[in-house]
Structure 1
Amino acid sequence: MPDDIAAQLARVEADEAEVVLTRFDVTDAWALGRRMRKAAAARGLPIVIGITLGEARVFHTALPGSSADNDGWLERKTRVARRYGRSSFGVGLSFRAAGKDFDTDGRLDPAQYAAHGGVFPLTIAGVGMVGTVGVSGLPQADDHAFVVEHLRAWRDEAQRSDGS
């Protein structure tokens, strides 16, 4: 496995282990989604943002420069995160680290599943994965980094307000 893939995979696995929440509901989804949209707009990012709880889409927005293609990518990446219970970027990197191609070796329809960066599981401590938060429109490592940046900040703020 090339060193850059190994290093990226290690960072993504650390993100997945670290970014665990104490709570998350539809009100939180709205607040997190609005925060992400404001940050993306300020940076001029041409992305779509989506948050799910279970199978329900509880937040979705598109910024200038994004397109229906980004919606399609977001849905495909969300299916991967749900199926594997981890970030879509982590899934893709795991396949690459093993010398495999997700589209071929994943044995899933590539028109329905995309193991590219940008969708992250919403995991609650003691409960498990309850949904996803994701973006599409940037290079996959940047999609992943944007989501993790905002989910980590959300977690830290929620812990402070809970008195943790």
Structure 2
Amino acid sequence: MGDEARELLERIEAEERELVLPRFGLDEAWELGSRMREAALVAGHPVAIGISLGEQRAFHAALPGSSADNDGWLERKTRVARRYGRSSYGVGASFRTAGKRFDEDARLDPAHYAAHGGVVAIVVDGVGPVGTVGISGLPQAEDHAFVVEHLRALKARLAG
């Protein structure tokens, strides 16, 4: 793979290391999801937003212009983030950088798993992955960037 693919993977891995939170529970899920929903509404993003704690759905919102297809993509990307304990974008980039195709080489049913950007594992310091947060409805790099932006802001609020 080229330098561009490696640089993308390195950036995603740095984000994943950066976005370790001091805590995360239902209150934080509601805060994060509500802020993401408001920002997406203001921007006019036609997205579905989902946050889980373990297997429990802690927050879900569908904005104007989104559809059940976005929910399906969100679920498929969430399964990847949950299974690998990292961002769905990072998983896809890891496969591409290794010269592999996730849909074929992961040996997972692509009807249930999608290694496309938009879902990030929620990792708590000293605990590990506890859930996921994601959106679906924008191009994958934009989905991922939106989630990262909001996780950064949450981490700053929790640290303050």
TM range (shorter): over 0.9
Counterpart in 2 of 1:95? 95
Aligned length: 160
User: AA paired with 1:38?
Assistant: E
Query: Where does structure 2 lack aligned partners over 5 or more consecutive residues?
Result: none
Distance 1:31 1:83 in 2: 25
Counterpart in 2 of 1:41? 41
1:88 Cα offset (Å): 0.2
Tell me if 1:143 matches 2:146: no
Aligned-pair Cα RMSD in Å? 0.5
- TM, length-normalised to structure 2: 0.99
Query: Where does structure 1 lack aligned partners over 5 or more consecutive residues?
Result: none
Distance 1:17 1:27 in 2: 23
Counterpart in 2 of 1:118? 118
1:98 Cα offset (Å): 0.5
Matched-pair identity in % = 68
Counterpart in 1 of 2:83? 83
User: AA paired with 2:86?
Assistant: R
Tell me if 1:51 matches 2:57: no
User: AA paired with 2:136?
Assistant: S
**3-state SS in 2 of match to 1:57:** strand
1:107 Cα offset (Å): 0.3
Counterpart in 2 of 1:73? 73
Cα displacement string for residues 15-41 of structure 1 (whole angstroms, at most 9, x for unaligned residues): 000001001110110111000000000
**3-state SS in 1 of match to 2:99:** coil
- Which runs of 4 or more aligned residues in structure 1 lie more than 4 Å from their structure 2 counterparts after TM superposition? none
Distance 1:151 1:18 in 2: 10
Distance 2:111 2:64 in 1: 25
1:4 Cα offset (Å): 1.6
User: AA paired with 2:59?
Assistant: F
- TM, length-normalised to structure 1: 0.96
Distance 2:5 2:65 in 1: 30
Distance 2:4 2:52 in 1: 31
1:147 Cα offset (Å): 0.1
